[in-house]
Amino acid sequence: MTVEPVEIIRTPIRLEYDYTPGGARSRFLRGLEQGKILGERCPSCHKVYVGGGSGACARCGVPCTDVVPLPDTGTVTTFCVVNLPFAGATIEIPYTSASILIDGADIPLMALIQECPADHVRMGMRVEAVWVPDDERAPTMDTIRYFRPTGESDAPIDDVLKKMRDA
């Protein structure tokens, strides 16, 4: 009698966590709940962060404390077109994920671009946020459904990138 060797075992793991966004990200998420995009200015280098990072200026290692209200418009600084489905995905492929420099900010945030064919998205494209209905707003990134083209002419991308680098 031959004994089959064990070739594979499954050991499922599940852990649950309470997530603590921290001060900066909490302010950002509360802002979204009110339909606003809030940035934070570094008191040392004056860069404006948006997207609710760690609460620190990653360059200076000091807390960003000044809250800066920002508009919900910006410029695409880079993007990628996603053609691969993955587990849990709720969006039809292909879709576009982009780095968007919100007007007045120095650090781009990541968001989806919709209402535009994927092959039309380009660096320098001007975009605006599309929000969920007011009564559905919550302290979550899902409160901004996606960004869509404004129809304005493109921003001069070289200048935008230079400003981001030099900021």
Partner 1 sequence: MRDVAVVSFAQAPSVRREPERNEVEILMPVVAEAVDRSGIKDKIGFTCSGSCDYLAGQPFAFVWGLEAIGAWPPIRESHVEMDGAWALYEAWVLLQEGEIDAALVYGFGKSSPGKLRDVMALQLDPYYLAPLWVDSVSVAALQARAMLDAGAHTEREMAEVAARSRRDAMGNPNAQVAMEQSADEILSEPYLVSPLRVSDCPPITDGAAAVVLAAGDVAREATARPAWIRGIEHRVEAHYLGVRDLTRSPSTERAAQAAGAANDKIDVAELLAPFTHQELILRDALELAKPNGTKINPSGGALAANPVMAAGLIRIGEAATRIMAGEADRALAHATSGPCLQQNLVCVLEGV
Return residues touching partner 1 (CB under 8 A): 9, 11, 13, 15-26, 53-63
Q: What is 4-54 written as a DSSP string?
A: PPP---------------HHHHHHHHHHHHTT-EEEEE-TTT--EEES--S
In the block, which residue shows the tokens 């709940």? 33
**Residue 26 or 78 with smaller CB distance to partner 1:** 26
Q: Closest CB to partner 1 among 54 and 73? A: 54
Identify whether 94 is preceded by a cis peptide bond (ω within 30 of 0): yes
Minimum Å distance from CB 56 to partner 1?
4
Give the residue with the Cβ less far from partner 1, 32 or 125. Answer: 32
In the complex with partner 1, which residue's Cβ is closer, 58 or 138?
A: 58
Provide the minimum distance between the beta carbon of 166 and partner 1 in the complex, in angstroms, as a whole number.
Answer: 13
145: left (phi over 0), alpha (psi -120 to 50) or beta: alpha
Report, in Å, the least distance between residue 57 CB and partner 1: 7
Taking the complex as a whole, the smallest distance from the CB of residue 24 to partner 1 amounts, in Å, to 8
CA atoms within 13 A on the CB side of 64: 29
